[in-house]
Structures are given as C-alpha cells and as structure tokens.
Amino acid sequence: MIRNKIVLGSIILSCVIGLSIAVYLQFNIPASAKNTINKPKVVTQQDQRNISSMERKVYKSNFLNKVSEELKTNGYRPTGAATFEYDVNKKTITILLDKNQKITGQKKEDISNIVNNVASKNKLGSFIVKTQYVQLK
C-alpha cells in the first residue's frame, strides 16, 4: 500500500514538473523567435517584377545556348537543356549532362565557373550551379 502511494506520488510529481517546464517555455520564448516560426515567405510585387525581369534577360541573351556552347568547347557534353529556379535572393541553374559523363569535384567547380563567366558577360549576375544526368538516345 505504501509502495503504491510512493509510485503514484512519483507519477504526479513528474507530471507537475513536466507541466511546469512546458508552461515556462511557452511564456518565455523571445518574441523574435515566435515571429519566425513557420512564417510564410511573402513575395512582393517588386520581387515578382525583379524575377520576371531576370527571366526576360536570360531568354533575350540566349544564355542557355551560350552556356551549352561554352561547355562543349571545354569538353563537356551538355544536352542543351537546363532548369532555372528564381528566388528573391538567389538564382539556380541545373545543367543537364550526358549520363555517361560523370562529373565530380573540380569539374563541377569548372562547370560552375563557366556558367557564371557566361552569366557575367551577359550581365545576369551569378548562379548556383547544379548538374543532373540524363540518358541521351
């Protein structure tokens, strides 16, 4: 009987301590941390105009063809296709390469330099460069 009371007392004490910690944490999180948790990113009209402007510049400058030609000149086998991702703070290009040409380490850096040199010449800023492999027929 005393043993059961001790066990029950321990369980109740553990619950009270856990609840106290939860209440303390809930009311003592800094306001700045509360505001950043799960806050969706809002794209303003100006951000949208900037992204649209970049899309037009990439298209008008024939950027992808210039990058493909420069890569071929340097011994790579691009497919001539790529994907572009535009964000308010960054631009990403994924270059599609022949699956049989594996690129690692220094060659990835070389491809990144080639892409960004072409981008710089066309006043497009710099890109985060990724590579993806596809099977050519």
Residue of 85 and 89 predicted with greater confidence: 85
Integer Cα distance of 127 and 108 in angstroms = 13
Exposed/middle/buried for residue 63 (C-beta within 10 Å: 0-12, 13-18, 19+): buried
Predicted confidence at residue 25, as pLDDT, reads 61
Output the pTM of the full model.
Answer: 0.66
Is the pLDDT reported for residue 24 higher than 70?
Answer: no
pLDDT > 70 in the chain, percent: 72
- Architecture per CATH, domain 45-134, reads as 2-Layer Sandwich (3.30)
Is the pLDDT reported for residue 10 higher than 80?
Answer: no
Is the pLDDT reported for residue 103 higher than 60?
Answer: yes
Q: Provide the residue ranges of all domains of the chain, joining segments of one domain with +.
A: 2-36, 45-134
Identify the band that residue 3 occupies on the pLDDT scale cut at 50, 70 and 90: low
